[in-house]
Amino acid sequence: MTSASVKTVQVPALVIGTGISGLFTALKLSSYGVKVLLVTKSSLDESNSRYAQGGIAAVLPGNPQDSLDLHLQDTIRAGAGLCDEAAARSILAEGYTAIADLLDFGVPFDRNANQELALTREAAHSVGRILHAGGDATGHSVEMTLIDKIKQDANIEVIEYAQVVELLVAEGRCLGCRAVDYHHQQEWLIASPNVILATGGLGRLYSHTTNPGIATGDGLALAAQAGARIDYMEFVQFHPTAFYSEGKLHFLVSEALRGEGGILRLANGERFAFKYHPDGELAPRDIVTRAIYAEMRQAHTQHVYLDITHLPVETIEQRFPTILSSCLQFGVDIRKDWIPVAPAAHYLMGGITVDVDGKSTVKGLYAVGETASTGLHGANRLASNSLLECVVLARRVAYFVAHHAEQSPKASSSEQFSQSDVRLQSLKHPLGAYQFGSEPAMHEALNTLHRLMWENAGILRDAQGLTQALEQIEAMREQVERTQWDLSVPVGVELENQLMVARLVCQAALEREESLGAHHRLDFPETEPQLALAAMALGGTHTP
């Protein structure tokens, strides 16, 4: 790779990532008159949010069956008691206000025959409180609506296909970032007093995942390298039902199918979920995942089945058009065929430690969406609370930046960015000649890492497997340094980031010697209340 030209810009607010949380943050900042630069390593419309099928959980005013206390109770129960109750209450209380914002932006939420917002129920919710759009295409509908608004907003500039390779920090304050557009050989040095990470999760760390290729934990690695506190990395949620075909898991099969009455079956037709929990298919995700995994191991099979054939055809076609279409591509007609499903890595409950305004422990650095750890999700996220958290935290970050934060870089920041010779010498990943042949080796290293994480830090864990994983991760880090692979190319950046994030997950999982929520230790199968309380007091911190 030849040297790229360098372009320096200064902006009041920099948002990294273009999922729903990043887009919503940018739009809300713009509504307050703040100019925003939005940076994404892929296209504007590629993100985890786009693939969210289920919906957004919120207590609607006038719903006699629901209340904030009930939503909070469901959230804490699903989170295995590890939620930060005050933070959770604060975020959930703002749910409908955020929904109202989305309605104002034009999000076409589905409505019932009376033109009221349609609600459905998902696992571990006591009542129906899930809003959805396009049947099972909520994430896509919200994302596309927000993107249309972004494109019309003169206050928001977008840079696509630019990989952020480093956050720039001086004296405990984030000053901006360095990004590289590999398509156009353009390097960006972006100065900003307000840097908002909206980079999504880490699902691609695992060989089996519902996440798209961009979910490589980049924001977590960037924040850790910048000195930010990182919490609860052991809590990786594995979704119970991803579509299985020909040895691979291909896409998410929404929890909403079970919310509408879907039944989990073995090949012989046996319904097994009630053997593991009195709520059966509507038990919390971690319990349903382990139930499926246990049945698969016992039967030596690669999947079980989800059956919705007893539902009216019209219901299936109207509520689940995306899943119906996707399954038909593999020869499965969900109106009459059972759906082959198996668990897959799905969501990170931990992440960059932030307060309820999205502020991290590094001044000027914020996090929203899956990248952030607010305390809402505890040890196991309640279904459809993720998109709720995305929009609520985005609103709060935007308000705080617009009303309480600095809007222009400090003098020291301007000086640093004007002294290009000093600056470039201090940066990581100096752009240089591309080393021919290193990229295939890096891809193979990533594949090895993903298999390692699935086998040793996946649904079931123990000290031996986690220790082996940490040893192998360290050996891979040493190999990267020893072979001097080119880390200035996209796969190199992602390899380095994923090795760092994988180490954080394994360290955290090894240190928590109990089973709690999505974290299940075979050598410590019981939940120890005193350990849970101690972890809450310590904050579950795992910063390198």
Per-residue pLDDT of 96-122, as tens digits, reads 999 999 999 999 999 998 899 999 988
pLDDT on residue 62: 86
Q: What is the CA radius of gyration of the chain?
A: 23
pLDDT band for position 428 (50/70/90)? low
pLDDT on residue 231: 95
Task: Write out the catalytic residue numbers.
Answer: 285
- Quickly count: other Cβ atoms within 10 Å of residue 514's Cβ: 17
| Amino acid (one-letter) located at 539 | G
pLDDT on residue 386: 94
Q: Which of 245, 500, 209 is nearest to 344 (CA)?
A: 209
Residues 6+ apart with CB under 8 A from 400: 357, 358, 359, 366
Q: Which domains does the chain have, with CATH numbers?
A: 5-234+349-411 (3.50.50.60), 240-345 (3.90.700.10), 436-538 (1.20.58.100)
State yes or no: pLDDT of 411 exceeds 70. Answer: no
Per-residue pLDDT of 135-148, as tens digits, reads 778 888 899 999 99
The rounded distance, in Å, linking the Cα atoms of 211 and 255 is 15
The rounded distance, in Å, linking the Cα atoms of 107 and 23 is 13
State yes or no: pLDDT of 438 exceeds 60. Answer: yes
Pick the residue with more confidence: 460 or 50?
460
Q: Which of 28-32, 439-443, 453-457, 501-505 has the lowest mean pLDDT?
A: 439-443
Q: What percentage of the chain exceeds 70 in pLDDT?
A: 88
pLDDT on residue 135: 77
pLDDT band for position 168 (50/70/90)? very high
pLDDT on residue 363: 96
Q: Contact 399/29 with Cβ under 8 angstroms?
A: no
Q: Which of 224, 353, 249 is nearest to 304 (CA)?
A: 249
Q: How does the average pLDDT of the chain come out, rounded?
A: 88
Per-residue pLDDT of 329-376, as tens digits, reads 999 999 999 999 999 999 999 999 999 999 999 999 999 999 999 999
pLDDT on residue 256: 87
